[in-house]
Amino acid sequence: MSATDLSASPSAPARSRTVVASLRLLRSELRIIAGRRRNQAGILVLASVPVLIAVALKFSQPREGRGPDFISSATSNGIFVSLTALSIEIALFLPLAVAALAGDTIAGEANIGTLRYLLTVPVDRTRLLAVKFVSLVLGACFGVLVVAVTGVIVGGALFGLGPTTLLSGSQIGLADALARLALAVLYLSAGLAGLAAIGLFISTLTEQPIGAMIAITVVSTAMWILDGIPQLEWLQPWLLVHYWTAFSDAFRDPIFYEQMRQGLLVALGYVVVFVSLAWARFTQKDITS
């Protein structure tokens, strides 16, 4: 049916009305996501990690040479609390958050039956999928932002926000450091958008949001595991998560873009492939819930 919609080639006012209406639906969608207790609790969990890191570092003796590079730098500058928290949470907590939201998108609505009433409003299936995907990416972006901002606030309060010494030894000012952190946040959000696309597709396959959430978490965790096996080096450039840790390249001098550029391309590839799969599946699907 979506094919017919496209071929109907709507006039310009009709198209702009569709855009305005989609923004209204997106706002409603975001309100539901933000209003859900589980999501509010999830945000608290995400925010607690940088707090725990900062407090732990504050009250423990400095030790050299263990953990990610910036853990040892964290006590010198609050920005590094953000980076440390991001590098820890990108492994599990942030993918888990995306998985939980993705499970709600289609599977969750199918599960409680609201999907059939949305579709008979009517919401065109393609439009619904697009709005769901955008809300998912915005949710992921918000999650990353919460971790980064909490890290800056708590890290700044405990360790100050003076000039930042980069991994390569040179120093940058606060504004530059915040800009680089924003770059890292956007880059990680793009990576999570790839996972969101996988999640959207899985969500169209089932009516069980918890099942979808587990499946998505399994996929992201499996990619991390494969990425850690040296014998699978040939496979790793194709793994979405392989490039995620490259966000810290934003804190090199000069910024090292090569890995991030590849990471963005791979994430884009995942988005194109899995959003297409989700579309093919969802527009053909019988809604029997």
Output the smallest distance, CB 215 to other proteins, in A. 23
> Which string of DSSP letters, residue by residue, matches 180-223?
HHHHHHHHHHHHHHHHHHHHHHHHHH-S-HHHHHHHHHHHHHHH
Output the smallest distance, CB 241 to other proteins, in A. 33
Output the smallest distance, CB 200 to other proteins, in A. 18
- Residue closer to other proteins by CB (options 24, 45) is 24
Output the smallest distance, CB 286 to other proteins, in A. 4
- Residue closer to other proteins by CB (options 5, 69) is 5
Output the smallest distance, CB 179 to other proteins, in A. 36
CA torsion 178-184-190-192 (nearest 10°) is: -110
What span, in angstroms and rounded, lies between the C-alpha atoms of 90 and 83? Answer: 10
**How do the residues of the chain divide into helix, strand and coil, expressed in percent and rounded to 5?**
80, 0, 20
- Residue closer to other proteins by CB (options 121, 175) is 121
- Residue closer to other proteins by CB (options 15, 218) is 15
For residue 161 the two structure tokens come to: 């926000």
Which residues are bridge partners to 172 per DSSP? 164
- Residue closer to other proteins by CB (options 203, 217) is 203
- Residue closer to other proteins by CB (options 60, 288) is 288
What span, in angstroms and rounded, lies between the C-alpha atoms of 94 and 141? Answer: 10
Output the smallest distance, CB 125 to other proteins, in A. 9
> Which string of DSSP letters, residue by residue, matches 53-120?
HHHHHHTS---SS-SSHHHHHHTT-THHHHHHHHHHHTTTHHHHHHHHHHHIIIIIHHHHTHHHHHHT
Give the footprint of other proteins on this chain (CB under 8 A).
Answer: 1, 4-5, 17-18, 21-22, 24-25, 27-28, 32, 35-37, 112-114, 116-124, 127, 284, 286-288
